[in-house]
């Protein structure tokens, strides 16, 4: 069925001018795009029992070496209280360790374990074909270009 009646033509003036997409279009598209990508990546993570926020922390640790929980929380836009539980989960699975920081006993230095390292690599390799399938209907080079533009979009200060 369709409940659609005739479109109110006076409304069109704000949306139907060519090249004048809704200022909300970008945000709504980004939400759908994220939902689609996240659903695929969650599948890649399922065998490891990890969730996206856990793996995001592991990626940050690979990129930056060991980090404090505060640094991880800031980098991943979460609050420090949420990060405690993420690290708890990863530590319970033996993927990271909390180590003392010489010179400041308030802080933990979070480091990947050997097991965390191999799990990271396994997930990483298993996710590659999933990513490929995710962008397989785009034209050649568009996926890389998308990554490039999104990187600069998310860093307006650079």
Partner DNA sequence: TATTGTTATACTCTATAACTATA
Partner DNA sequence: TATAGTTATAGAGTATAACAATA
Among residues 56, 67, 54, the alpha carbon closest in space to that of 111 is found at 67
Interface residue with a copy of itself, options 27, 92, 105, 140 (CB under 8 A)? 27
> Which x/- pattern, by CB under 8 A, does the window 99-138 give for a copy of itself?
--x--x--xxxxxx----x--xx--xx-xx-xxx-xx-xx
User: Residue 103, interface with DNA (CB under 7 A)?
Assistant: yes
Calculate the CA dihedral of residues 113, 68, 56, 65 and round it to 10 degrees.
-60
14 binds a copy of itself (CB under 8 A): yes
Q: Is 72 exposed, middle or buried (0-12, 13-18, 19+ CB in 10 A)?
A: buried
Rounded Cα distance between 109 and 87, Å, is 11
Q: For DNA, which residue of 37, 48, 51, 117 counts as binding (CB under 7 A)? A: 51
- The residue (of 23 and 103) whose beta carbon lies closer to DNA is 103
- 77 near a copy of itself, rule: CB under 8 A: yes
């Amino acid at each position: 069925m369709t409940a659609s009646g005739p479109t109110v033509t006076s409304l069109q003036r704000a949306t139907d001018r060519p090249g004048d997409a809704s200022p909300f279009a970008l945000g709504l598209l980004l939400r759908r795009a994220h939902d689609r990508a996240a659903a695929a990546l969650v599948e890649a993570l399922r065998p490891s029992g990890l969730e996206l926020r856990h793996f995001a922390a592991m990626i940050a640790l690979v990129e930056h070496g060991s980090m404090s929980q505060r640094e991880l929380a800031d980098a991943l836009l979460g609050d420090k209280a949420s990060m405690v539980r993420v690290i708890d989960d990863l530590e319970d699975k033996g993927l990271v360790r909390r180590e003392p920081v010489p010179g400041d006993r308030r802080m933990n230095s979070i480091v990947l374990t050997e097991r965390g390292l191999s799990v990271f690599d396994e997930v990483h390799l298993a996710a590659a074909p999933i990513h490929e399938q995710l962008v397989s209907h785009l034209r050649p080079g568009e996926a890389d270009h998308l990554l490039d533009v999104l990187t600069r979009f998310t860093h307006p200060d650079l």
